[in-house]
Amino acid sequence: MKLNDLQPAEGSKTKKTRVGRGISAGKGKTAGRGTKGAGARGRHARKGPFFEGGQLPLIRRLPFKRGFTNIFRVEYQEVNVADLDVFDAGTVITAALLADKGFIRDAKDPVVVLGNGDLTKKFTVKAHRFTKTAQSKIEAAGGSIEKLELLVTGARATVKKLPQEQLAKLQGKQ
Instruction: List per-residue pLDDT tens for the chain, 174 residues long.
Output: 899 999 999 999 999 999 999 999 889 999 988 898 878 887 766 777 788 878 888 888 888 777 788 878 889 999 999 999 999 999 999 999 999 999 999 998 999 999 999 999 999 999 999 999 999 999 999 999 999 988 776 666 666 666 667 767 766 665
Q: What is the pTM of this model?
A: 0.54
Task: Give the residue extent of every domain in the chain.
Answer: 77-155
Chosen CATH of 77-155 out of 3.100.10.10, 2.60.120.10, 3.40.50.2300, 3.40.50.300: 3.100.10.10
- List Cβ<8 Å contacts ≥24 apart for 118-123: 118/81, 118/82, 118/85, 119/81, 119/82, 119/84, 119/85, 119/143, 120/85, 121/84, 121/85, 121/87, 121/88, 121/89, 121/90, 122/89, 122/90, 123/84, 123/87, 123/89, 123/90, 123/91, 123/92, 123/93
